[in-house]
Amino acid sequence: MPSATEPTAGEQPAIEAPMAAERRGAAAQRPVTAVRRTRLLRALALFSTGLLAGAFGYGAANLVPTFNAVPIGMRLGFHAELMKMNGITMQATMAVSALSTLALAASVRGRARVLAGAAGLLTVSSFLITRFGNVPINGRIKQWAATSPPPGHAEVLRRWELFNDARTATAVLAFGLLIALTHQRSSAGPAPHRLSPPASSGRRGDPEHTA
């Protein structure tokens, strides 16, 4: 004989039904949260990498030719002051771009993962080229601006321009890969909805619902 606190056979389905519905709702919520996180990472990666590619591209197309057109003393002084600001803004942009693209690669699958991973590695390459190629030369340029450029300074400045071209190319390629990834996701369109069969309102064995 069941106790007063133990649910009877008729009460058991009524207790389990809300619990099952709650579990189904939680399971459905997890994919929605993952999709939102992926969209946020994709937007952040696209924005930061585009900003990085645009900044490097502007420098290569406009600043470097201007550097070469002005007297060497003016070029060194302007270069030294410009790098003070770039040391903060550009490295922060590279960090956000690299982290967001690599996180995006970890959250997607298939070809999208390959594109995002390659974009992340290219962005990391831009950082490494800047850190070990441009930054040491920037330190020498700062010293020259305070004194005078030594013999052979033109070759050192040329190496800085080559490093700048390389990091610009890697940033632009990374941005292009993210554009391709976004276009791929847009072309795929939303996933088709699966139609579930209508639930029967009757219970098996009920005389009112059997032929």
Tens digits of per-residue pLDDT, 164-211?
999 999 999 999 999 999 988 655 544 444 444 555 544 454 544 444
Higher per-residue confidence, 86 vs 98: 98
Residues 45-87: tens digit of each pLDDT:
999 999 999 999 999 999 999 999 999 999 999 999 999 888 8
Contacts with 127 (C-beta within 8 Å, 6 or more apart), sequence order: 91, 94, 95, 98
Give dist(CA 187, CA 21) in Å, integer: 34
**C-beta of residue 62 within 8 angstroms of C-beta of residue 81:** no
Give dist(CA 12, CA 154) in Å, integer: 86
**How many other CB atoms sit within 10 Å of the CB of residue 37?**
13
Give dist(CA 202, CA 180) in Å, integer: 52
**Burial status of residue 168 (CB atoms within 10 A of its CB: 0-12, 13-18, 19 or more):** buried
Q: What is the pLDDT of residue 190?
A: 44
Predicted confidence (pLDDT) at residue 88 exceeds the cutoff of 90: no
CA distances from 105 to 91, 117, 173, 186, 189 (A): 21, 5, 16, 17, 20
- Among the listed residues 78, 79, 86, 77, the one whose alpha carbon sits nearest the alpha carbon of residue 146: 77
Give dist(CA 78, CA 66) in Å, integer: 11
Residues 144-171: tens digit of each pLDDT:
999 999 999 999 999 999 999 999 999 9
- Among the listed residues 147, 42, 57, the one whose alpha carbon sits nearest the alpha carbon of residue 100: 42
Task: Please say whether the dihedral angle defined by the alpha carbons of residues 140, 145, 149 and 153, taken in this order, is positive or negative.
Answer: positive
Give dist(CA 72, CA 140) in Å, integer: 14
pLDDT, averaged across the chain: 83
pTM: 0.73
Tokens 């020259």 correspond to 144
